[in-house]
Amino acid sequence: MEYIIISLLGLIIILLIIILIRKNNNEEITLKLGKFETDITKELGEFKFTFSKSLNQDFKELNETIEKRLNYINDKVNERLDNNFEKTNKTFASILERISKIDEAQKKIDGLSNDIIGLQSVLTDKKTRGIFGETNLQYILDSIFGKNDKIYQMQYTLSNSSIVDAILFAPEPLGTIAIDSKFPLENYQTMTNTKLDKSIRDNASKLFKADVKKHIDAIKEKYIITGETAGEAIMFLPAEAIFAEINAYHLDLIEYSYKAKVWITSPTTLMSTLTIISMILKNMERDKYAKVIHDELNRLGTEFGRYKERWDKLSRSINTVSKDVEDIHTTTDKITKRFASINNVNLEITEKNELE
């Protein structure tokens, strides 16, 4: 394209020179220049035609190239749009799925809230709370020891006719331990309700302490019997919150229980205590069976000594018999060889007589 423009400028300059020369009235030069002008005009016409043709061709190729490029870009854009639409659809589908799961979870939460409200209404009754505590206690004992009447029993009657929620036959020096479930809830709820006046909460706190001490005294009097049970008993609180409240803010109750030898536990601490007792029981059983195994190994060692002695005797007898067998085998070989030599001698004598 630059070459064509430069050529065009050259032709224009030549035409300007021709015009200037014509002004000089030189006829010969004018004729020559006229011819030259005719040639130049012809060449210029050809050049214009060629230039126009080349320019059209270039524009055509450029249009084709641009069209191909635009088609390629259009295809790529469509492809990316399709991919993005596909990803967007998947994202929306995933979002809808998660929203449905959230709805299901919300429904379950609503149901759980209703269950909790129902549980709270159930626990307002003392008898129902007692059943709840006993059930929780039995579940913990079953989880640690399984169904085993030799280790624990539920609703066990003592010699003083008192019925304890659970009795644990622990090994010495622990002995037989009584476990009773208590659930002081009303005054605890009032005491911890921050919406109430401080005076009401303080009064509830005093009543709560009185309830706990009352339970400790009852367990001490009913379930600690000299010569029958251990010198300690366990008070089981089914609620971790009540246990935490006592340990955090009512240390006087902890000291009171220590003096009465009644250990206050929650589900977590009771499971830890029973797990330790279970390990002690297993170690005792292991030690007992280890002694039995040791005695049996000693007896087996004695029997093995007798076996070795008898085997040595048998081995010596076998060696003697083996030597006798070898001797007999040697004698048999000698006799066999002798018979063979005798047979050979008879054959030679017979052949000699026949020849004579």
Instruction: Return d(Cα 215, Cα 219) in angstroms, integer.
Output: 6
**152 within domain boundaries:** yes
Residue-level pLDDT at 116: 40
Tell me how far apart the alpha carbons of residues 62 and 1 are, in angstroms, rounded to a whole number. Answer: 13
Residue 112 has pLDDT above 70, yes or no: no
Q: Residue 351 falls within a domain, yes or no?
A: no
At 310 the pLDDT is 73
Lowest mean pLDDT among 82-86, 110-114, 285-289: 110-114
How many alpha carbons fall within 13 Å on the CB side of residue 208?
A: 23
Q: Exposed, middle or buried, 37 (CB in 10 Å: 0-12/13-18/19+)? A: middle
Q: What pLDDT shows up at residue 86?
A: 77
Report pLDDT digits (tens) over 41-55. 666 666 666 666 666
Within its chain, how far is the Cα of 320 from the centroid?
69
Overall domain count for the chain: 1
Q: Please compute, for residue 310, the number of CA atoms within 13 A of its CA located in the half-sphere on the CB side.
A: 6
- How far does CA 85 lie from the centroid of its chain? 36
Q: Interior CA angle at 120 toward 115 and 122, to 5°?
A: 90
Return the pLDDT at 15.
62
Whether residue 224 contacts residue 169, with contact meaning beta carbons closer than 8 Å, is answered with no
Looking at per-residue confidence, does 224 or 11 come out higher? 224
The rounded radius of gyration (Å) of the Cα atoms in the chain is 59
**Alpha-carbon gap, residue 203 to 211, rounded angstroms:** 12
3-state secondary structure of 169: strand
Backbone torsions φ then ψ of 175, nearest 5 degrees: 80, -160
pLDDT of residue 234: 94
The counts of H helices and E strands in the chain are: 8, 5
User: Residue 129 domain-assigned?
Assistant: yes
Range(s) of the domain holding residue 218: 124-283
With H, G, I as helix, E, B as strand and everything else as coil, classify residue 210: helix
Q: Does some domain include residue 60?
A: no
* 281-311 per-position pLDDT tens digit: 777 777 666 666 666 667 766 776 776 777 7
Look up the CATH number of the domain holding residue 267: 3.40.1350
Q: What is the pLDDT of residue 92?
A: 64
Task: Render 174-199 in DSSP notation, one character per residue.
Answer: T-EEEEEE----HHHHHHH-TTS-HH
Q: Does the residue 57 lie in any domain?
A: no
% of the chain at pLDDT higher than 70: 61
Helical residues (DSSP H) of 124-159, grouped into ranges: 126-145
Q: Is residue 306 part of a domain?
A: no
Whether 184 is covered by a domain: the verdict is yes
Dihedral sign of CA atoms 208, 209, 212, 217 in order: negative
* DSSP letters spanning 290-334: HHHHHHHHHHHHHHHHHHHHHHHHHHHHHHHHHHHHHHHHHHHHH
Find the range with the poorest average confidence among 23-32, 176-185, 313-322.
23-32
- 318 DSSP β-pair partners: none
Give every CB contact of residue 217 below 8 A, 6+ residues apart in sequence: 260
In a domain, residue 221? The reply is: yes
